[in-house]
Chain A
Amino acid sequence: MCLAVPLRVESVDGAVGRVSLGGVLRDISLVLTPEAQTGDYVLVHTGFAISVLDEKEAQETLALFAELEEASRAVEAADPRTTEGATAQG
């Protein structure tokens, strides 16, 4: 289960965080993530932050995607059956 959305913490007041996304603001409880700070992104589920998102891990995942993209392009470029490959070999 399930529906939790990543939102940015705009301000913290004790156990209450104000989060925003797309210009919409809402107060949520930080009781389950007392370590959350202004500027953090948290996963919000039914009005509670359940986890603080790890920016570094997020970037690593995106970097893996970029590598996947690179690797696929390289394979296509080398494959004579594709336009890229045919041109490269041409």
Chain B
Amino acid sequence: MADYEKTVQLGHGSGGTMSHEIVQQVFLKHLRDPLLLALEDGAVLDDQRWLEPSDGRIAFTTDSYVVRPLVFPGGDIGKLAVCGTVNDLAMRGAIPRFMSVGYILEEGLSLQTLDRVVASMAQTAQAAGVRIVTGDTKVVDRGSADGVFINTAGIGTVPSGIEISATRAVAGDVILVSGAMGDHGLTIMTQREGLMFGGSLQSDCRPLASLVQVMLRCCPDIHVLRDPTRGGLASALNEVAEQSNVGIEINELAVPVHDAVRAASELLGLDPLYVANEGKLMAIVPDKHAQRVLGAMREHPDGAEAAVIGRVVASNPGRVVVETLLGTRRIVDMLAGEQLPRIC
């Protein structure tokens, strides 16, 4: 492409030579899977080895990524797209295998930004052990997208004996989180509103498949796994309480929160329990296995700050109750609408 062509233009989505150029010079510069490089209309997954170990169950997920800003401390939309997809599969106990990526580019997007995003996507996929085997690009008019929208689909295989579902929590189970809550959402919000600069707020965006595999080797009978993304931990817990028809009790003081997140939350009037995470999971496991799972998590780099935060109970089914630092109890509902910074 000529030097003066520093931005995405409508022609890049037309299917002609400009499209071909952007695919070759940006996407395929970084995404190098042989199936993708063949540039067929679809990838045929004809090597049977990827189905092992498995009892034939395939996990399939889809997601779209619309984050703004596109690049933030700790990651970017490319990294986020891979992590989100891989983590959705991992939350069902699946080993992530393949992904598709569809890019919707806004006319005027800087090619340098696009290059960075795609490079990051490729690196993250490599680190997570997932193959990006098929992709698509479209370009829309200026103003119709926030720079880049990414849609993905992911396929994984579920080993036999793994039954992880939001319906499986039972009274007596222990609830664990893999680390501190609120890092991603607070980072995005403060970046977006120009609220903070400098300091240690960083997205926690990372793939969790490896952590989950370690946990499952230690205890194949994990009942529930959830990654608390939009709506935060509180919303994820509410979903489980409802789907399993159980009560959930958590101890507020036991939920880990980094100092920087706590400070930013206090300043903006936000509650970390409702803030998105992109590199954390919540696990509900039988009581007798809890300590071992916790130990296994803490030994893994992505679970170093893992903690027990509460229990599943029979009382108040469908409700999440938090014990406050005063020892009093209050209900924590699903997030309703967006959490906005407040002054009062």
Answer yes or no: do A and B interact.
yes
Among candidates B200, B269, B344, residue contacting A24 with C-beta atoms closer than 8 Å: B200
| Contact call B259/A23, Cβ cutoff below 8 A | yes
B267 at interface by CB-CB < 8 Å: yes
Among candidates A2, A21, A44, residue contacting B344 with C-beta atoms closer than 8 Å: A2
* A27 (CB) vs chain B CBs: closest residue: B197
The distance in angstroms between the C-alpha atoms of A21 and B264, with both chains bound, is 8
Most chain A CB inside 10 Å of its own CB: which residue of B199, B263, B267: B267
| Contact call B342/A24, Cβ cutoff below 8 A | no
A25 and B342 contact, Cβ closer than 8 Å, known pairs A5-B267, A44-B267: no
| Contact call A21/B263, Cβ cutoff below 8 A | yes
Q: Please name all residues of chain B whose beta carbon is closer than 8 Å to the beta carbon of A26 when the two chains form the complex.
A: 195-197, 267
A89 at interface by CB-CB < 8 Å: no
| Contact call A3/B344, Cβ cutoff below 8 A | yes
Q: Please name all residues of chain B whose beta carbon is closer than 8 Å to the beta carbon of A23 when the two chains form the complex.
A: 199-201, 259-260, 263
Among candidates B199, B261, B266, residue contacting A25 with C-beta atoms closer than 8 Å: B199
A1 at interface by CB-CB < 8 Å: yes
Q: Please name all residues of chain B whose beta carbon is closer than 8 Å to the beta carbon of A14 when the two chains form the complex.
A: none
User: Measured between C-beta atoms, what is the minimum distance from B194 to chain A in Å?
Assistant: 10
B258 at interface by CB-CB < 8 Å: yes
B138 at interface by CB-CB < 8 Å: no
* B268 (CB) vs chain A CBs: closest residue: A3
| Contact call A22/B342, Cβ cutoff below 8 A | no
Residue-by-residue, is A11-31 near B (CB-CB < 8 Å gives 1, otherwise 0)?
000000000111111100000
A46 at interface by CB-CB < 8 Å: yes
User: Measured between C-beta atoms, what is the minimum distance from B162 to chain A in Å?
Assistant: 38
Q: Please name all residues of chain B whose beta carbon is closer than 8 Å to the beta carbon of A1 when the two chains form the complex.
A: 343-344
| Contact call A24/B266, Cβ cutoff below 8 A | no
Q: Which of B261-284 contact A (CB under 8 A)?
A: 261-264, 266-267, 269
Q: Please name all residues of chain A whose beta carbon is closer than 8 Å to the beta carbon of B343 when the two chains form the complex.
A: 1-3, 45-46
Residue-by-residue, is B28-45 near A (CB-CB < 8 Å gives 1, otherwise 0)?
000000000000000000
B198 at interface by CB-CB < 8 Å: yes
| Contact call A25/B269, Cβ cutoff below 8 A | no
| Contact call B344/A22, Cβ cutoff below 8 A | no
| Contact call A22/B263, Cβ cutoff below 8 A | yes
* A47 (CB) vs chain B CBs: closest residue: B195
Q: Please name all residues of chain A whose beta carbon is closer than 8 Å to the beta carbon of B342 when the two chains form the complex.
A: 3
Q: Which of A34-64 contact B (CB under 8 A)?
A: 44-46
The distance in angstroms between the C-alpha atoms of A25 and B200, with both chains bound, is 9
User: Measured between C-beta atoms, what is the minimum distance from B101 to chain A in Å?
Assistant: 33
The distance in angstroms between the C-alpha atoms of A45 and B342, with both chains bound, is 10
* A1 (CB) vs chain B CBs: closest residue: B344
The distance in angstroms between the C-alpha atoms of A21 and B190, with both chains bound, is 14
Among candidates A3, A24, A44, A46, residue contacting B264 with C-beta atoms closer than 8 Å: A24
Q: Please name all residues of chain A whose beta carbon is closer than 8 Å to the beta carbon of B200 when the two chains form the complex.
A: 22-24
| Contact call B197/A25, Cβ cutoff below 8 A | yes
User: Measured between C-beta atoms, what is the minimum distance from B322 to chain A in Å?
Assistant: 21
User: Measured between C-beta atoms, what is the minimum distance from B83 to chain A in Å?
Assistant: 24
User: Measured between C-beta atoms, what is the minimum distance from B337 to chain A in Å?
Assistant: 19
By Cβ-Cβ distance, the 5 closest A-B pairs, closest first, are A22-B259, A22-B263, A23-B200, A24-B199, A21-B263
Q: A3-B267, A23-B259, A25-B199 are in contact. List 4 more A-B contacts (CB 8 A).
A: A1-B343, A3-B269, A21-B259, A24-B200
Listed in ascending order, the chain B residues whose CB lies under 8 Å from chain A are 190, 195-201, 258-264, 266-267, 269, 342-344
Sampled A-B contacts (9; CB under 8 Å) = A1-B343, A2-B344, A5-B263, A5-B267, A21-B267, A24-B267, A25-B198, A44-B267, A46-B343
